[in-house]
């Protein structure tokens, strides 16, 4: 494995944030200041093709990468696009169910749960302070 690939893999496995290629580029440049974005993209595709990492192409629109190549599910925040691993077991019986009803050769599946992360839920519950909002009237002391 090349030095660039090794460092890229090391940086990706250090985080659990499922970074994009651009984010990984910024991380790797601290150790390899002369690396190009194109090199990062090419090596991520090679590592994904080798099964060393997972490429995540999902509803968020941004392609992300996961240092954990094992099958697992993800949870995406629909408000901030945060992506985290879902702490549940993979249900491989779904592969057989889909194969039986579609006649596809199923080689695996990806499942992404959608919701709001704790930070976004908290932010939604805080007063917005929108124009036209007024503080409650002062109650005079007795």
pLDDT tens-digit profile of 15-41? 988 999 999 999 999 999 999 999 999
Q: What is the CATH number of domain 71-124?
A: 3.30.1490.190
pLDDT tens profile 78-111: 998 889 999 999 998 999 999 999 989 998 888 8
Structure-derived torsion over alpha carbons of residues 62, 83, 75, 51, reported in degrees to the nearest 10 = 70
Distance CA 83, CA 50 (A): 23
Q: Domain extents for the chain?
A: 1-69, 71-124
Cross-strand partners of 84: 75
φ/ψ of residue 89, rounded to 5: -75, 150
Q: How confident is the model at residue 11 (pLDDT cuts 50, 70, 90)?
A: very high
SS3 state of residue 10: helix
**27, two tokens:** 């991380």
CATH class belonging to 1-69: mainly alpha
CA angle 81, 23, 53 (to 5 degrees): 85
Burial 34-54 (b: 16+ CB within 10 A, else e): ebeeebbeebbeebbeeebbb
């Amino acid at each position: 494995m090349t030095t660039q690939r090794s460092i890229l893999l090391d940086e990706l496995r250090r985080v659990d944030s499922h970074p994009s290629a651009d984010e990984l580029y910024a991380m790797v440049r601290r150790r390899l200041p002369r690396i190009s974005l194109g090199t990062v993209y090419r090596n991520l595709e090679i590592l994904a093709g080798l099964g060393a990492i997972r490429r995540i192409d999902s509803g968020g629109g941004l392609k992300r990468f996961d240092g954990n190549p094992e099958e697992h599910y993800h949870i995406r925040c629909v408000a901030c696009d945060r992506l985290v691993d879902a702490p549940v077991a993979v249900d491989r019986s779904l592969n057989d169910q889909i194969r039986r009803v579609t006649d596809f050769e199923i080689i695996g599946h990806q499942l992404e749960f959608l919701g709001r992360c704790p930070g976004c839920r908290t932010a939604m519950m805080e007063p917005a302070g929108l124009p036209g909002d007024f503080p409650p009237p002062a109650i005079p002391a007795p």
